[in-house]
Amino acid sequence: MRQLPLYQVDAFSKDTFGGNPAAVVPVPVFPPDELMQNIASENNLSETAFVTVRGAGKFHIRWFTPAMEVRLCGHATLASAHILYQSSEAKPEKMLFRTEEAGTITVRPNKNGSYSMDFPLDTPQKIKSPKGLRSVLGGIKPLEVHLGTDDLVVVLKNRKQVENLKPNLPLLAGMKKYRGLLVTAPGKKYDFVSRGFFPYYGIDEDPVTGSAHTVLTPLWAKKLGKKKLTARQVSKRGGDLLCEVRGKKVRLTGHAVTYLTGQILLKNEL
């Protein structure tokens, strides 16, 4: 019987049971894609990250939802960095994560226990409201609609409207040209708030979506005329992010806490 280490981490939270739970599976080499997908489906979290070591402070990372592999994931990268840093005797000043499609992500541990991650900036493009969007939003008329590399971004009036939204998920799942829907609005305590829905990828609502903030950050940076912003994803669990536009990069900073450690037991799968 073969075993693989398994960690579950609450990302973008200082406390257990907050933020977005992600599974992290460090492996010497990536298992077959079918096995990684089966493990992610079994974990039934929004993402499971598989990580291999390429050298000192250098890694290769892939992410799977319960339904499929994804191009980019922020919270599972944060979770992976947290596990790798905490288990390393060397305590590297930075960690480099090579991805399949999103380039190399640099993660830096901070003295206060948080981690700062540099992602490619995703410039939003303002578009006309797509057909069927009002129905997805339960009849709500958006103030603006933008398109990112992966997601449809809808600007609403205020935090209350974002929190109270009950999107039509079956209709949204049918809009397969988009990874998902981000709804956002200006905040009071925070510069902006958001929620994220990805039913086509097997995630009705994601608690805290790091990758979403690669497009939300430049959107609100332009609107508010500032490069450093505070953000809150107002899902049931919720999570906080510090966001900063740095040229062609977006730096996202957040905390993470380990919830679970264990072993995956495999018979004939490897």
User: Which amino acid is present at 150?
Assistant: D
Q: Which two tokens stand for residue 76?
A: 């599972």
Q: Which member of 34, 42, 47, 69 is catalytic?
A: 47
Distance of CA 193 to the CA centre of its chain: 15
Cα–Cα–Cα angle for 65, 155, 117, nearest 5°?
A: 50
Q: Which contacts (CB < 8 Å, 24+ apart) does range 217-220 have?
A: 217/121, 217/243, 217/244, 217/245, 217/250, 217/252, 218/121, 218/122, 218/123, 218/124, 218/245, 218/250, 219/124, 219/146, 219/153, 219/155, 219/184, 220/184, 220/186, 220/191, 220/192
Q: Which residue has the tokens 């209709």?
A: 171
Catalytic residue check, 47:
yes
Nearest to 75 by CA among 52, 107, 121, 98: 107
DSSP class of 255: -
Q: Which two structure tokens, joined as six digits, stand for 146?
A: 């933008």
Active site residues: 47
